[in-house]
Structure 1
Amino acid sequence: MAATRPAALIDRLGFQDLPEALHLRDRAIDRAHPYAAELSRLLEAEPSVLGVYDVDGVPAVCLVAGDPAQGDSAYDALRAQLWNQGLVSLLLVVGRDAVQAWPIPPKLMPGPVVDADQLDRSHAYSAYGVRSDALRSLHPDWFNPRARVDKVLLRNLTVAIDKLVAGRSPSALIDAQHLMAQVLFVSYLEHRGLITASFRKEKGLRPFDVLLAERDQAGLERLFAELKTRFNGDFLAPTNNQLSWSRLSEAQFAVLDRFLKQDDLAGGQQSLWPYDFRYIPIELLSGLYETFLAERKKNDAAYYTPRHLAQLAVDEAFRGRTRPEDEVVWDGACGSGILLTAAFRRMLGSAEARAGKRLGLAERSRLLTSHIFGGDINAAACKVTAFSLYLCLLEDLPEPPRTKLPELLGSNIFDQSHHGDFFSAKHPIVSGKAPRPTIAISNPPWREPAGSQGKQAYETWSKARKLKIPLRQIATAFAFRVAELVEPGGRLCLIMPAGAFARPQHRKFLERWLEEVRLTRLINFSDLRLLLFPGAKHPCMVVVAEPATADDASLTRVPPSFEYVTPKADLGLLYNRLVIHASDRRTLLQSQLSLNPRLVQGLYWGSERELAEVERLRLQGTIGSVIARHEGASGGGFHMTDGTKAISPGFLRQWAHIDANSLPGTGPALPKHCLQPWPRELSQIASRGDRALYEGARVIVPNGMTSHHRIRAFAVTEPASITNSCSALRLGVGGDALARFAAAYLCSRFGAYLALLLAPSAVMERTQIKHGELLELPFRLPSQHSDPERAQAIVKEVARWVAKAEKATVTAPSEDLPQEIEEQIQEYFEISPTLSVIVSEVAQLVLPNLQPTTIESVSSPLSRAPTLVELRRYAATLVAELERSRRQLDGMGGFEAQVDVWNPGQMEGLGRVSITVSPQGRTSKSAVSTAAVDALLSDLRQHGLLAGVLDGGLALRGDVLVQEGATIHFAKPLVRRLWLTSAALDDALKIVRHVHQSAQIA
């Protein structure tokens, strides 16, 4: 009985519902699993480990047989291992009649003991609770990202280097980076048993921690000299730098001591658990150290490629490739090698799975030297890459190595001295020294050099090929170079700045590049910018493509299409997984992207129907076209500084000045106190700007938006200057009234909604709006309205309200304009009632929750369950949209909809809409039977399919669409953003396409 109870409890909690996700101790691990090595170590850690449950391929729960009533320190050793590994989020102790959950971070108490009769699949400790928000809601402090091993290690690395270089010259920074790299990697070698006792005895060496504790500088020098010879490289060689081992002070040795003990170097607090490099992943070390290879800036963490993003890129690179070990993989900007390391581990796992055994060092070396290549202009980066790959070779060898490690530098990994610059005419691929890649995977530099910097190598290369490189962005040149070098039939997978596919300045690049490649997948991580890269200014996209062929240009060929994927912030990040829903994935023609790059942004949060209506508005006119037609003016204000330029302010002294920092948090009324005399301290400026921007009726818009992504626009009717941190829009028509109306329009909910769809800087990057983006927003004159008199009356009414607000002495800041003003603005633009509802939903739910900065803020109203009112509104919109499609297609009959919830309150409950076609438009009040669909959903749940499936490197939670005679049942997860009006428009189109495809098949 005792032997079967843990298994029974595991089953009761649903961990066996998805057999492939539960890795049991008595079953062999698939060597091709992305985390095969980590899973094997966990299952071999100690006899009490029953198994490991993964969520979408990422280990999440460690199941342990034990007594839930044991003391607080009973599982410390196992928790320390799990913490160092950085994957599993929960330790679940399973007893005879109860379970107890333990956190992974140290210094946190376990959860209460829960008796068996309280446990089922709806419990927070169940498999479904782990997959949902239930576990995090119950124990939020267990999921603090700052307590994860990568964050702790990164913080301590930063402080350790600062302490090592304190009081020394700037050149000591490089020495400190080199020294800490040696500490990390020697610790790794020793902890993993790669520096054996026999090797130490033969060479007369002592363990690193002993040498460090005794301050044995000569012994340390000798250790590193021997390691240099052993590992065929100079990365571990002793140096004569300022911070060489022979020159370290007692205080500096103390820093290294405390670092290895995992003490908090900033706060001084001692740690319960030291770093254990037996379990810290190789990719984590190489990824973290990349932070210190470049000159350190304020946001160091922005340079660290998260491990799960690297794994996703590798997943996408090998997607559909049945034999990864046969590919030739190149990273032309390898940095410290996190992508190459992850790729090689994946190839090695596949090769070992095919062989049915672990490969020896000689076989691994042949695989590595024949199939993995990289380059970088940074020599230190190449050394770290080579050493990380050496560690992969030595990891979990079936027997001690008997041969030396292969030379990688200059043969597989190329630095500047070996023509590793990706744009070099003597690059190893060009010269034939290395093979062309069948897979090119890279996170290229995103640098945009300042105008004062001279011509770069990539610009010389681009000019020779007559390629236009927008904003001097090296990543775009890199994309061209990869497409040129990859083998025909190969694949490229790049982590690119999102702006390269969305900003108007990059349109020419995009048009030309899409002639060179055939896109297969574009994954836009804009909403995850601050979660993937804390402090990052720009979001990323993972771009997967293949070199174009002559057949692609054939008129008889099916037009090339690609999958556009738009992940939103999701609680899956708690478990290092990236989750998408069916609505986050759509298929587009490549020609659509060439003709209209606005799709990349517009379809992130909007539907195809919305974009069509917005485009109709733009065809009637934009702010830019109105200004051009009426000889208005637009642009930024004067520059205070620009290099060495200095001129007198001249005529600007005569006028008032508006300091952007003194502007109210919201518009559109500009208080009189914002117009101040010319600042005395500005005796010289770099340029005066266009005089026309400082006089006449106009709108000024500071670059910065509100925290909820609202535009801050202000009507100005008096002469006054502004700096280039503001844009000025002088329409040239309509006088003060139209300027005030335009300012109110930009500040309105409708203006914010349009920025969401049309202005990349507003929602994809930092919260700002640029001058060029303002010019693209729709605008019309009263004469273009279907009722010009009514339009003119609206302009006057809104302008009167703005003028009155300008005179108010006391105001209550509000991002929303009065409801009647919002309604008048929407009436002026004659938007549809459906779009009006969408505008309100976007303002209330979407904009305040864009780009969350912390995991805690991911649990927003957007991710919660919809209300019954919202479900019914969704169903009504769905029916209305289907009716509209029926009329357009000359169809017959009408539609009825019933909405309900399947398994409410359960972890995998679904909202469901049943749509029935009624002949001749007759309506019926009879209820639709859902028994068959209920049975199908239950079956899907039992097979784990409602929990999500792996889609490349992403976890996909799909919709369920079932056609039963004249009724279509449509079900999807109870996540509010999936039930908004915009989603109903997309889903209606999905249903129409399904019906037509079914008819064609029939």
Structure 2
Amino acid sequence: METLSLSRRQAPELYMAGTPVEGPHAQAIAFALKELGLAAVFCIEGVPTIGFLNDPDASADRVDTVHRILWNQGLMSLLLVIRQDDLMAYSLVKRPFHREQGASAADPRLITTLSLVNDAVRLRELVDSAQSGRFWFENDPYFDPDQRVDSVLLSNLLQSFRELKEELGSDAAQALLMQTMFIAYLEDRKIIKSEVFKEASDGAHASFSDMLEARTTASFETLFDWLKAAFNGNVFNAPCAFDVEGGRPPKLKAKQLKVLARFRHGREEMTSGQMHFFGYDFEYMSIGLISAVYDRFLKEEVERANSDGAFYTPMFLADVVVNQLWDDLNDEQRSSGVFCDPACGSGIFLVRLFQRLVAYHCQQKKKRHATWNELKTIARRLRGADINPAAVRVAAFSLYITLLEQSNPPDLPALIDAGKLLPSLYGDTLRPAQDFFTSDDGGHYDAVIGNPPWKGRGGSVTTAQQWTKSQNLPDPAKDIAWGFVWKSLRVLKPKGIVALLLPAMGILHNNDSETARKLLLLKARIRRVINLSDLCFQLFDGAQRPTAFILYENIRTEGEPYRFEYWVPKADLNLRLKRMMTLSRGDRIQLRSDVVNADPSVFKRRLWSRPPDEKLLQFLRTIPALNDFIGEYKTLRKAEFNRDKTWAIGQGFQPAQPDKLGTEGYRTTTSEIVTRYPYLSADAFCPVALPKIKTKPWKTKTVRRAGFPHGFKGPHILIPQGVERAMPRLRASYTDQSLVFEDSLQAIAFPPAKHRTAKLLTAVLNSSLSAWFYFHDTANFGADRAKVHQNDLLKLPFSLPKDMPDPDRAAAAAAKIVRLIDREIKHSNDLLRDSTGVLNEIDHLVFEYYGLDQSDIALVEDTFNYILPAMQPRRSAGMQRIWENSRIEHRHAYATMLCDSLKPWFRKPIIASLAAKSADVAILRLSIADNKRASDYSETKSDELVPFLNQISQSLPRRLPGNVQVVPDLRFVIGSEMYLIKPLQLRQWLRSAALADAEQIAAEFSAIVAQRDNKSVTDVSR
């Protein structure tokens, strides 16, 4: 173990035999250490990730058994087997492998074999590479998510459901599959044994699999009679039904048992028919994984899923929510509190809460297992409801399995013999078809938790809207989520807490939510906001909109300002490949409620901005904005519009849908002008200067909306709303030609005499500076859909040269810009136009026009070149440049910018050099020069990381944290030198990162200058 440099690791990162284990995965970690005999379990951000089997004599069979069990557990991703002279790394995502007797086939699970003697450096860096995500990316073929146990199980569930629902119907097929999983669980966990199956079949079948292969359903139905008597609950009322009050369930046929038999053994990929030697095993499978059937079943009902706005909550995200709530609960709430999920779905939040409550109860009582009555009491403290009864069935099913999972196995036989083992949940504490907004508002709950629906059902008035209206509370865009925000406060006990996943745009960012947002800050005390916008497409399969987590409670003193935490995690390799969220300390911010109230855009802006960005924004805001002289046509249309005097912006026309013409309620209008000029499609648009458009006009004057008629006449500036990911800048094009276009394009119409100003504005709109500004200071771009709305577009600072910060510099730049645009107009019809070179020219001239210095330019260029291309990456996206390891030129630029930024603070220059480096972490040394000449940045004398840390460990004031990836601003001082320990990823070595780091370093480093001759050690890490 020492070979892997784990000496600086400790709980909650590294658990070894005998280490007390706490947290959401305590049970799984303890099982791996005690029952499987692993030497250690390594966690990343609380998620068990690497298992260590340290056994010099480990046989192939032992490795296979451990691998198969951990694959079924579905938590860890890597098994390291340490033998006498080597280490073998196995993927725990790959399916279990059967070694044929005498066969020499390569083991598909084996990633690499390392020598404990010859591969010392690679071994020392292995754990760091897992934390950075580099290991997973470099070995991507070994971590195909389709081979994970949850993917295999869910794929077979879906296929079984499709084959069963044709004759049984959706509800009956869902119920039957859950009942089958429950019986499989009971059998695999040895809660029921072969005698039960023999008795139900008059000795014909000794296992559930045998029973499912029978030619009739008689034994299966008899088994249900026994199960109902033994377990009670709601699961085994009848095959295909949890609830028989609504009528008799459909009659089961033998051919449907065959489908269940294939699903039960799990050795077949049911979609393809491919067979495997090993299937899944419910004995070791996570209940959170099993709860995920809710999402898959609902996705079979696409229309309902779309209308309700419901999405599956991944287990790791549910753990984030539960952990955040759990850490803020007091002892009384943990011991006896009542918890509610008002839109419980599969019950994943209730399941994870139940597990935490049981663990806490056992810890307080100092015993390993709770009694069965204690477990039932804890289960009754959990309340759930959902308008979808099928979802509540899954929640009941999940909680029943969790109850059994948490029980003391020796207690169960006597309880089963006594009969009616399971408590009634479905229809009791878990309410099907119950609407949160028709229940009373009394203070019943210590906490409300969940991921409620976000939007209104198409065209209908929801009970959420009715309730908010009756309470005189705002619900912007008629979003159901706001109803849950307000109603959750009403049902809390005096010290209760709300923990909800909510739409980031509707709650945090949208301009039309500003009033509701201010009221929430006034009526509630927010404890923490985690803005998950950048993670949107990696969190949810099929998600279209970003989410945010908000933890809040009822305000105690209305109007009194308070502080709260604002966390802004970023997408990274670990999330893309490992389904775990890494939160860097640099992404944790503190905000004040009164500051947020006065500055409604702060949630969006601080998603990426840091203090140097905020300073540049403040500088730009000293310049008048476009909305000072450009009006929106929709507000100007009632007044007389004078094209010779007025600047205005408006959208193109919206075409009428031919199949809806004549339909009652479908309104149209006429627009003669759209049939007069050539039609410009969005695909034909190109930036800067538009070539001659030779298409025909629009085919009909009947349109849905007429748009901005004055904007169709040239000269004008045309601007698409959308921002392309490949070129993440706003695009604008100047043209004198009159054109008609649809509403995805917008036009700025200007007085013809102001054509020079319009050309100047066209260049500015195309610049990386405007992209940087819109990214930080508008609601959508970078948080939701990549577009800039009309009112946001007009926020851009822009004025004539005489009103700019440096008028002479601006005037010279403006003249060059106008000449450049004239040149592009002249060559706009050339076949081979290179827009990239032109845009680079524009960028540098616009920097000159606005009077930016090198620090400002670094902020803009880093955002444009690295951050914007990586924003909100899809799961299918490859390696983003910002995730790559920095190269020497990046570190040189960082060090140069850092030292230059520190100059005003010190009389002598600061010298930067690389002290040590591994493949994932680097240590930068800052020294005060003995003379007034600073030497260049150097990496020539850098050491290997681990030996360097061991060498200086005695001089450190405290133990270094294990995971440097989440503490990228770690600093310490030895004598008169400061050391910065930083992940090697490029994000931490951008010039803009140097500017942000400099502000913190300057104050800390200057404090030790006076002690230069004192060899004391100072810890300056935040």
Q: Could you say whether these structures have the same fold, taking a TM-score greater than 0.5 normalized by the shorter chain as the test? A: yes
Name the residue aligned to 2:81: 93
Q: What secondary structure is seen at the aligned counterpart in 1 of 2:873?
A: coil
State the Cα distance separating 1:937 from its structure 2 match: 6.1
The alignment's TM-score, normalised by the length of structure 1, stands at 0.86
Which amino acid in structure 1 is aligned with residue 519 of structure 2?
Answer: R
Counting only pairs closer than 5 Å after superposition, residues 60-139 of structure 1 correspond to structure 2 as 60-65=49-54, 75-104=63-92, 105-106=94-95, 108-120=108-120, 122-123=122-123, 126-139=126-139
Name the residue aligned to 1:233: 234
Which amino acid in structure 1 is aligned with residue 463 of structure 2?
Answer: A
Distance 2:136 2:473 in 1: 50
Quick check: 1:332–1:442 contact (8 Å CA) kept in 2?
yes
Counting only pairs closer than 5 Å after superposition, residues 871-886 of structure 1 correspond to structure 2 as 871-882=891-902
Alignment match of 1:910 (pick from 922, 929, 944): 922
For each residue in 1:868-917, what CA deviation from the matched residue of structure 2 results, as whole angstroms up to 9, or x when unmatched?
44334334433444556x6xxxxxx536322223431254x333252649
Alignment match of 1:406 (pick from 415, 419, 423): 423
Distance 1:249 1:638 in 2: 60
State the Cα distance separating 1:204 from its structure 2 match: 6.1
Name the residue aligned to 1:289: 294
Distance 1:237 1:940 in 2: 70
Quick check: 2:759–2:821 contact (8 Å CA) kept in 1?
yes
State the Cα distance separating 1:311 from its structure 2 match: 0.8
> Residue 345 in 1 paired to residue 366 in 2?
no
Counting only pairs closer than 5 Å after superposition, residues 416-435 of structure 1 correspond to structure 2 as 416=433, 420-424=434-438, 426-427=439-440, 430=441
Name the residue aligned to 1:493: 499
Between stretches 341-350 and 321-330, larger displacement belongs to: 321-330
Distance 1:162 1:734 in 2: 67
Name the residue aligned to 1:662: 683
Distance 2:236 2:121 in 1: 52
Distance 1:797 1:75, change over 3 A: same
Distance 1:288 1:937 in 2: 52
Distance 2:178 2:585 in 1: 43
Q: What secondary structure is seen at the aligned counterpart in 1 of 2:51?
A: strand
Which amino acid in structure 2 is aligned with residue 37 of structure 1?
Answer: Q
For each residue in 1:790-835, what CA deviation from the matched residue of structure 2 results, as whole angstroms up to 9, or x when unmatched?
3541442232133134222233464x64432221122223333312
Distance 2:216 2:16 in 1: 43
> Residue 766 in 1 paired to residue 785 in 2?
yes
Name the residue aligned to 1:368: 379
Distance 1:516 1:303 in 2: 28
Name the residue aligned to 1:863: 883
State the Cα distance separating 1:65 from its structure 2 match: 4.5
Alignment match of 1:473 (pick from 454, 469, 479): 479
Distance 1:456 1:152, change over 3 A: same
Distance 1:253 1:734 in 2: 80
Distance 1:855 1:348, change over 3 A: farther
Between stretches 802-811 and 312-321, larger displacement belongs to: 802-811
Name the residue aligned to 1:41: 31
Name the residue aligned to 1:837: 858
Distance 1:913 1:393, change over 3 A: same
Alignment match of 2:724 (pick from 698, 706, 719): 706
Between stretches 75-84 and 122-131, larger displacement belongs to: 122-131
Counting only pairs closer than 5 Å after superposition, residues 813-962 of structure 1 correspond to structure 2 as 814=836, 817-854=838-875, 857=878, 859-882=879-902, 893-894=906-907, 896-905=909-918, 907=920, 909-914=921-926, 916=928, 938=953, 945-948=960-963, 956-962=966-972
For each residue in 1:287-321, what CA deviation from the matched residue of structure 2 results, as whole angstroms up to 9, or x when unmatched?
33233236633999992211111111111111154
Distance 1:210 1:575 in 2: 37
Distance 1:959 1:512 in 2: 36
State the Cα distance separating 1:109 from its structure 2 match: 4.1
> Residue 56 in 1 paired to residue 45 in 2?
yes
For each residue in 1:446-505, what CA deviation from the matched residue of structure 2 results, as whole angstroms up to 9, or x when unmatched?
11444xx23211111111222221111111221122233323333222111111212222
State the Cα distance separating 1:569 from its structure 2 match: 2.0
Quick check: 1:697–1:735 contact (8 Å CA) kept in 2?
no
Which amino acid in structure 2 is aligned with residue 359 of structure 1?
Answer: A
Distance 1:956 1:819 in 2: 35
> Residue 445 in 1 paired to residue 438 in 2?
no
Q: What secondary structure is seen at the aligned counterpart in 2 of 1:721?
A: coil
Q: What secondary structure is seen at the aligned counterpart in 1 of 2:391?
A: helix
Distance 1:628 1:118, change over 3 A: same
State the Cα distance separating 1:663 from its structure 2 match: 2.5
Distance 2:49 2:793 in 1: 45
Name the residue aligned to 2:623: 620
Distance 1:819 1:346, change over 3 A: same
For each residue in 1:395-442, what CA deviation from the matched residue of structure 2 results, as whole angstroms up to 9, or x when unmatched?
1422333263222234422333xxx32222x33xx35xxx63222221
Quick check: 1:701–1:728 contact (8 Å CA) kept in 2?
yes
Distance 1:912 1:365 in 2: 56
Name the residue aligned to 2:536: 529
Name the residue aligned to 1:4: none
Alignment match of 2:4 (pick from 3, 13, 17): 13
Distance 1:142 1:318 in 2: 35
Distance 1:69 1:200 in 2: 37
Name the residue aligned to 2:739: 720
Quick check: 1:838–1:982 contact (8 Å CA) kept in 2?
yes
For each residue in 1:350-408, what CA deviation from the matched residue of structure 2 results, as whole angstroms up to 9, or x when unmatched?
22122232112111111221x32222222222222122112111114223332632222
Distance 1:393 1:250, change over 3 A: closer
Distance 1:755 1:496 in 2: 24
Distance 1:249 1:705 in 2: 56
Name the residue aligned to 1:671: 691
Distance 1:257 1:110, change over 3 A: same
Distance 2:798 2:248 in 1: 63
Distance 1:381 1:484 in 2: 25
Name the residue aligned to 2:105: none
Quick check: 2:894–2:989 contact (8 Å CA) kept in 1?
yes
Distance 1:985 1:648, change over 3 A: same
Name the residue aligned to 2:525: 518
Quick check: 1:947–1:957 contact (8 Å CA) kept in 2?
no
Q: What secondary structure is seen at the aligned counterpart in 1 of 2:781?
A: helix
For each residue in 1:21-77, what CA deviation from the matched residue of structure 2 results, as whole angstroms up to 9, or x when unmatched?
5777853753x3321222233345555x43433333221222225569966x76333
Distance 2:936 2:896 in 1: 17
Would you say how many aligned residue pairs link Structure 1 and Structure 2?
Answer: 949
Distance 1:936 1:960 in 2: 18
Name the residue aligned to 1:358: 369
Alignment match of 2:397 (pick from 383, 387, 398): 387
Quick check: 2:688–2:821 contact (8 Å CA) kept in 1?
no
Which amino acid in structure 1 is aligned with residue 500 of structure 2?
Answer: L
Quick check: 1:794–1:824 contact (8 Å CA) kept in 2?
yes
RMSD: 3.8
Distance 1:690 1:22 in 2: 60
Quick check: 2:80–2:89 contact (8 Å CA) kept in 1?
yes
Alignment match of 1:749 (pick from 757, 765, 768): 768
Which amino acid in structure 2 is aligned with residue 130 of structure 1?
Answer: A
Name the residue aligned to 1:890: none
> Residue 590 in 1 paired to residue 579 in 2?
no
Q: What secondary structure is seen at the aligned counterpart in 2 of 1:438?
A: strand
Between stretches 627-636 and 232-241, larger displacement belongs to: 232-241
Q: What secondary structure is seen at the aligned counterpart in 2 of 1:567?
A: coil
Name the residue aligned to 1:269: 274
> Residue 415 in 1 paired to residue 432 in 2?
yes
Name the residue aligned to 2:712: 694
For each residue in 1:164-202, what CA deviation from the matched residue of structure 2 results, as whole angstroms up to 9, or x when unmatched?
446x7xx93444334333333333333223445565567
Which amino acid in structure 1 is aligned with residue 535 of structure 2?
Answer: L
Quick check: 2:647–2:750 contact (8 Å CA) kept in 1?
yes
Distance 1:836 1:754, change over 3 A: same
The alignment's TM-score, normalised by the length of structure 2, stands at 0.84
